[in-house]
Amino acid sequence: MDEILDGTTQIDCDILIIGGGTAGPMAALKAKRKNPDANVILLDKANVKRSGAISMGMDGLNNSVIPGYATPEQYTKEITIANDGIVDQKAVYRYAEESYSIIEELDQFGIRFQKDQNGEYDVKKVHHIGTYVLPMPNGDTVKKALYRQLRKARINIINRYMATRLLTGESRIAGAICVNTRTAEFLVVRAKAVVMSLGAAGRLGLPSSGYLYGTYENASNSGEGYSMAYHAGAGLANLECFQINPLIKDYNGPACAYVAGPMGGYTANAEGERFIECDYWSGQMMQEFYDELQGGKGPVYLKLNHLAEETVAEIERVLHIVERPTRGHFHRGRGTDYRTDMIEMHISEIGFCSGHSASGVFVDEHARTTIDGLYAAGDMANVPHNYMLGAFTNGAFAGLDAVDFIKDVDFAEFDTGEVDAERTRVLAPTKRDDGIPPNQIEYKTRRFVNDYLQPPKVTAKMELAQRRFEEVRHDMETEMYVRDSHELMRALEASAIMDCADMAAAASLYRTESRWGLYHNRVEYERDDENWFCHTILTKGEDGKPAHHKREVQDYIVEIEDDEKDAYNNQRVTKSVAAE
C-alpha cells in the first residue's frame, strides 16, 4: 500500500458529488430519489462511513427552525443581524423554511433529536428572538445512519480518491480530476453537474499546541474545495470573515456552551463572571472574548462547577460521547472535574467555514455557484451560520437542482491538455530525489498565517504575509518531495492550504473597513457602510492571482429595523466601562 503507481482511468456520470461528509450524502440521496435513473457518484478522499466534520457525530442542532418555537422570519432576522447585514436573505430564508422537513427526514433515518416525555421535540431556549437548540441524544449515530441510507439507495460510492481540480468547458462544469490517496493513480470523472461539499478550510491557522492536526475542524478538511473553486474560476464571497471559535484550550474542541447553556453552564472570566453573551456566536462575541483574554481578566473558562451533580452528570453524558468523545479522556488526563474545576478556554486558530461565519464559495438559494452546473453546499458554501442542519438542507437543494440541470445538457467538452498539466503538477513532488517534505511546507505556511493574519488585522503584517507566502510557494513548487502516495495526499493538501492562505490575505486587504467583530477587525479602519455594505467576491485574476469585486447585498425580504441593526453592538457596556 502507498506505493506510487502510474495510471489514469476516465469514467462518466450525470452528477458527481465531491465530499461524503454531511451535505454530500444528502445531495446524493435527494438527486437519486428525484431521478432514480441518474448516475450519481459520491466521492471522498476518506471513507464515507466516517468522513467529514461529523465523523463522530453531533450533539445537537443550534439552528433548528421548528414551528411553534421560531419562524423563518425570526431566524432570517437573527442571522442577518449576527452577520452585520451582509446576507443574501433568500438562501437563509429558504433554509429556515425547509429545514424542518429535513429534521423529520433525518428522524426517519434513525437520527434522534431529543424528545420530551410526550415524544415531542424538546427544543431548548438559548437564542433571544426564537428558540433554536435541539439536542441529539444519540448524535453519535449520525454517520452510521446516513451511510445506511446511501447503501439502501445504492449510491455509487468512491472512497480514497481526492479531487484536485475541476474541469470546465463551454462555460460550464465538465468534471473533475482526482487522485487515489493510496496509489497515486488518476481518475478523470466527466460529469454534467458537480456538487462540491468538501467542508471547511480547517487547517489554515496553526493551533497553539503546534500539532498540525490538532485543529478545531476535522483536520481532513483542508480547504481543497476553496482551492478548486478558485482555480475553476468560481467566485468566493467574504473570505475575510474568518472563522474563529471559542474552544477548550489545548484540546481545541468545541466547549459546546450551547449544550451546557440551557442547563445553566456559561463562559466566565477569571473572576467567575459571565462576560460574553452565551446566546449566539458572532464576530462581536469573539471580539469580546479576545478582549477579555488580552485585557487582564483572563484566563477564560467554561463554568459548570456551580451546577448540581445531576446536571453535571447529564452534561458529561452528552459531551463525552458525541462529536468529540476524546474530550472525556482529555479532562481525565488533566485531572479536571466539571464539579470542582472550571475548564480553561481559548480562541481557535483561524479558518474558513460558513458553518460558523459567512465566508465561502458564493452560492444562491439553489446552492448554485457562479459556474453553470457547479454547486456548493455545507461549510464551504457561503450561506452564513448554517451548521450541520444547513449542510444537510443546502446539500438537498444542490442535489435537487442538479437533477434539473442535467436534463438538458450533455457532457461539456474540455481541454485534455488540462488533465496532462494537472498530472504534471500533482506528480512533481514524486519525481524528485530529495527535497522538503509536505509537513514542513504546511507548518511554515500555517505559522505565517498565525503570525500575520490572525486578527486584529494590520495592513503591514498582511503584506508581509503575502511576501512570505510567495517564498514558501516557490519552495513548494520547486522543492517539495514525497516518498509515497500518502505523503502525496498531504502535499496536495499543503498546496490547497497555501491557496487558502493567499486568499485569506488578499480578501482581508481588499475590504478596507472593520466588520464582523474580531473576524475582520482591521485596526486602521472603522466600519464603513457607505463603501462596504456589500459582498466582496474573490476570483482568480488574469495574472493567476486573486482579483476582487464588490457585489450588492440582495434586497432584504425580512426587514430589519434601524434599532435592531446594531443589536450586537448595542449590547456592550457603555464605552467608558468597556475601555477600562
150-179: which residues touch another protein (CB under 8 A)? 151-152, 154, 156-160
DSSP 572: S
Size of the site for another protein (CB under 8 A): 88
Within 369-408, the residues that bind another protein by CB under 8 A are none
For another protein, give the closer residue by CB, 144 or 447.
144
Alpha-carbon gap, residue 569 to 301, rounded angstroms: 23
SS3 content of the chain, % helix, strand, coil (to 5): 40, 20, 40
Tell which one of 144, 425, 461, 548 touches another protein (CB under 8 A). 144
| Angle at CA of residue 493, ends 460 and 506, nearest 5° | 25
For another protein, give the closer residue by CB, 6 or 413.
6
| Closest to 20 (Cα-Cα) out of 163, 136, 152 | 163
Query: Which residues touch 555 (CB under 8 Å, ≥6 apart)?
Result: none
Tell which one of 113, 226, 251, 362 touches another protein (CB under 8 A). 251
Q: What is the DSSP string of 1-64?
A: -------EEEEEEEEEEE--SSHHHHHHHHHHHH-TTS-EEEE-SS-GGG-STTTT--SEESS-
C-alpha cell at 34: 428525484
**Least Å distance between CB 113 and another protein?**
12
Query: Which residues touch 498 (CB under 8 Å, ≥6 apart)?
Result: 441, 445, 469, 472, 473, 476
Alpha-carbon gap, residue 337 to 341, rounded angstroms: 6
Alpha-carbon gap, residue 56 to 75, rounded angstroms: 28
Which stretch in 78-86, 91-99, 224-232, 328-336 sits in contact with another protein by CB under 8 A?
Answer: 328-336
Asked if residue 349 binds another protein (CB under 8 A), the reply is no
For another protein, give the closer residue by CB, 54 or 503.
54
Asked if residue 119 binds another protein (CB under 8 A), the reply is yes
Within 260-289, the residues that bind another protein by CB under 8 A are 264, 266, 273-279, 288
Within 513-542, the residues that bind another protein by CB under 8 A are none
For another protein, give the closer residue by CB, 405 or 481.
481
For another protein, give the closer residue by CB, 125 or 549.
125
Which stretch in 145-153, 338-346, 391-399, 533-541 sits in contact with another protein by CB under 8 A?
Answer: 145-153
For another protein, give the closer residue by CB, 36 or 210.
210
Within 468-497, the residues that bind another protein by CB under 8 A are 486, 489-490
Query: Which residues touch 155 (CB under 8 Å, ≥6 apart)?
Result: 25, 28, 29, 32, 40, 42
Asked if residue 450 binds another protein (CB under 8 A), the reply is no
For another protein, give the closer residue by CB, 152 or 407.
152
For another protein, give the closer residue by CB, 214 or 299.
214
**Least Å distance between CB 141 and another protein?**
7
Within 31-50, the residues that bind another protein by CB under 8 A are 46-50
Burial class (CB in 10 A: 0-12, 13-18, 19+), 247: buried
From its phi and psi, is residue 242 left (phi > 0), alpha (psi between -120 and 50) or beta?
beta
Within 210-239, the residues that bind another protein by CB under 8 A are 210-215, 218-220
Query: Which residues touch 325 (CB under 8 Å, ≥6 apart)?
Result: 56, 140
**Least Å distance between CB 218 and another protein?**
6
For another protein, give the closer residue by CB, 154 or 407.
154
Tell which one of 329, 339, 431, 545 touches another protein (CB under 8 A). 329
